[in-house]
Structure 1
């Protein structure tokens, strides 16, 4: 049987494989390569009823990104204790580049 930690690592890898989306890591952990674990794990919570994922998106519209993320994560849950859990994805932030306008200079 797969452990919760291994499942979270697989989900984080699936998130990383989707273009324009990455795990939402709490402030202070973004650049902590010295940690003995993947900081992206903080973006995933597993319970029997719900698998919650927090992500940052880098493109719009969100619906195609979320569909692609669902398609990447849902098969990982098959045959595990989380197979019947609801998959809940929270887009907690958008990269500012998502809204950048090359014809507009915001100034200093």
Structure 2
């Protein structure tokens, strides 16, 4: 697997390990089984000096959620060429469950 592929997989796994956030995949939560690639990768952009990860927030408040998410993603990038890259976490959507008093605000 290429360095890009290893970093991408590490970022996907990091996000999946965080309660309250999921990748903002344009095709929905799961791609069709017949697809030859992992659609979750569409939520991540790896540029030479920056990394952008688009997420859907499922809990509020956002500030602590984004701090936790950023820390997990930074840790996932430690042993990659993006260890010192600019990291952007973009909340592309807010899940309605975030407004449920039991789960979020």
What range describes the TM-score normalised by the shorter chain of this pair?
A: 0.7 to 0.9
Alignment RMSD, CA only? 2.0
Shift in alpha-carbon separation, 1:94–1:29, aligned structure 2, 3 A: closer
Q: Number of residues paired by the alignment?
A: 101
Which consecutive unaligned segments of at least 5 residues does structure 2 have? none
The CA deviation at 1:2 is 5.8
SS at match of 1:82: coil
Larger Rg: 1
The CA deviation at 1:101 is 6.7
Matches within 5 A, 1:55-74: 55-74=55-74
Match of 1:75 in 2: 75
Which consecutive unaligned segments of at least 5 residues does structure 1 have? 103-108
1:28-48, CA deviations, whole angstroms, 9 ceiling, x for partnerless residues?
A: 353324123321111111112
The CA deviation at 1:16 is 0.7
Is contact 2:11–2:77 with CA below 8 Å preserved after alignment?
Answer: no
Is contact 2:3–2:80 with CA below 8 Å preserved after alignment?
Answer: no
The CA deviation at 1:80 is 1.9
Is contact 1:2–1:80 with CA below 8 Å preserved after alignment?
Answer: no
What's the TM-score, normalizing by structure 2?
0.84
What's the TM-score, normalizing by structure 1?
0.82
Distance in 2 of aligned mates of 1:67 and 1:100: 21
